[in-house]
Amino acid sequence: MKEKIVFPKPKVLADSPMHYCPGCQHGTAHKLVAQTLEELNLVEKSICIGSIGCSVFIYNYLLVDTVEAPHGRAPAVATGVKRAKPDKIVFTYQGDGDLASIGLAEIVHCANRGELVTVIFVNNTVYGMTGGQMAPTTMVGQKTTTCPGGRCREREGEPLKMAEMIASLGGTAYAARVAVNNIKNLKKAQKAIANAFKVQVDKLGFGFVEILATCPTNWKMTPLQANKRIEQEMIPYFPLGEFKNCLGENQ
Ligand SMILES: Cc1ncc(C[n+]2csc(CCOP(=O)(O)OP(=O)(O)O)c2C)c(N)n1
Ligand code: SF4
């Protein structure tokens, strides 16, 4: 019997094994970005700005021109690249340690200025690459290597809700939070990522998508347990949805 491929791999995704841990959703997020670039016909003119964290090797997987801008500086580098090459489609791919901690000033000012760039923000509530330290998005009560007793609201405050914060800024044209824990949410995630690129294509302003993602290794969970945590613990605190959408009828 002839095989029928139902979900083909996007061509812009390299044909090489990824280094991510089993059950890590960075790979899923990469695939959604790759699919979006192909569907919107943006592959040839896209420039990716990589960051620090487990996704530091994104240039090995997404076959587009890439600049590395570690330690939260990706939005600043994206600003420079886009201003120098306004015909290109420029996007960053950043984790929560990179974007919401070290790079908090960069992301806020980039959005507030309304830079015509797109930001893909992967929130897995820990610093994954460096061994699971507390991030600004770590949940109250969550145990990490730097808060072994659990994050404490009185001591460390509440986890930052980046999608809502970015939506409140004048230059933002699109801000949403999505998850990739089931098929329904995957489909919504795909649409949100496309919208975050469309606001750049239509020159409406800054585009931002927060993707809730698993880190089974540092959560000390199996992939299945980690996926359940997204539904049971993360989504109740980090609600899914669009917080700003200036696309109007252009969607
Ligand atoms: C002591 C120290 N401070 C800062 C860094 C820089 N650094 C590299 S990866 C990383 C954390 C990245 O975490 P995140 O952005 O959440 O991405 P993830 O690995 O979870 O995908 C940091 C802070 C470092 N390597 N060592
Ligand atoms: S440490 Fe966490 S974020 Fe990094 S690859 Fe493994 S599961 Fe993914």
CATH number for the domain harbouring residue 47: 3.40.50.970
Q: Is 52 in the pocket of ligand 1 (CB under 6 A)?
A: yes
Ligand 1 pocket test, candidate residues 127, 133, 137, 144, most atoms within 8 A of CB: 127
CA 141 to the chain's CA centroid: 24
- Amino acid making up residue 31: K
| Domain total in the chain | 1
Q: Rounded to an integer, what distance in angstroms lies between the CA atom of residue 126 and that of residue 226?
A: 13
- Strands of 27-158, DSSP E: 46-50, 65-68, 89-95, 118-123, 126-127, 133-134
Strand arrangement of the beta sheet that strand 172-179 belongs to: 65-68, 46-50, 89-95, 118-123, 206-212, 172-179, 241-245
Q: Tell me what pLDDT residue 3 has.
A: 84
In a domain, 18, yes or no: no
Q: Rounded to an integer, what distance in angstroms lies between the CA atom of residue 197 and that of residue 119?
A: 9
Closest to 174 (Cα-Cα) out of 197, 152, 140: 197
pLDDT along the chain (251 residues), means of 10: 84 95 98 98 98 96 97 98 98 98 98 98 98 98 97 97 98 98 97 98 98 98 98 98 88 60
What is the CB neighbour count within 10 angstroms for residue 235? 16
In a domain, 56, yes or no: yes
In a domain, 147, yes or no: yes
Cα of 8 from ligand 1 centre, angstroms: 32
Tell me the whole-structure pTM to 2 decimals. 0.96
- Give the closest residue (by CA) to ligand 2 atom 2: 215
Q: Tell me what pLDDT residue 139 has.
A: 98
Q: Rounded to an integer, what distance in angstroms lies between the CA atom of residue 228 and that of residue 230?
A: 5
Query: What DSSP string describes 177-224?
Result: EEE-SSHHHHHHHHHHHHHHHHHHHTT--EEEEEEE---HHHHT--HH
Contact between 50 and 69 (Cβ < 8 Å)? yes
**Enclosing domain of residue 80:** 26-246
Q: Tell me what pLDDT residue 228 has.
A: 98
Q: Is 98 in the pocket of ligand 1 (CB under 6 A)?
A: yes
Q: Tell me what pLDDT residue 251 has.
A: 60
Per the rule left: phi > 0, alpha: psi between -120 and 50, beta: everything else, 132 is left
Contact between 162 and 210 (Cβ < 8 Å)? yes
Ligand 1 pocket test, candidate residues 21, 57, 98, most atoms within 8 A of CB: 98
Q: Rounded to an integer, what distance in angstroms lies between the CA atom of residue 92 and that of residue 52?
A: 11
In a domain, 10, yes or no: no
In a domain, 17, yes or no: no
Q: Rounded to an integer, what distance in angstroms lies between the CA atom of residue 150 and that of residue 138?
A: 9
Structure tokens at 146: 């730097």
Is residue 156 exposed (0-12), middle (13-18) or buried (19+ Cβ within 10 Å)? middle
Q: Tell me what pLDDT residue 250 has.
A: 54
Contact between 115 and 81 (Cβ < 8 Å)? no
Q: Tell me what pLDDT residue 203 has.
A: 98
What is the CB neighbour count within 10 angstroms for residue 49? 26
In a domain, 20, yes or no: no
Which residues have CB under 8 Å from 18's CB, separation 6+?
26, 27, 30, 61
In a domain, 86, yes or no: yes
In a domain, 60, yes or no: yes
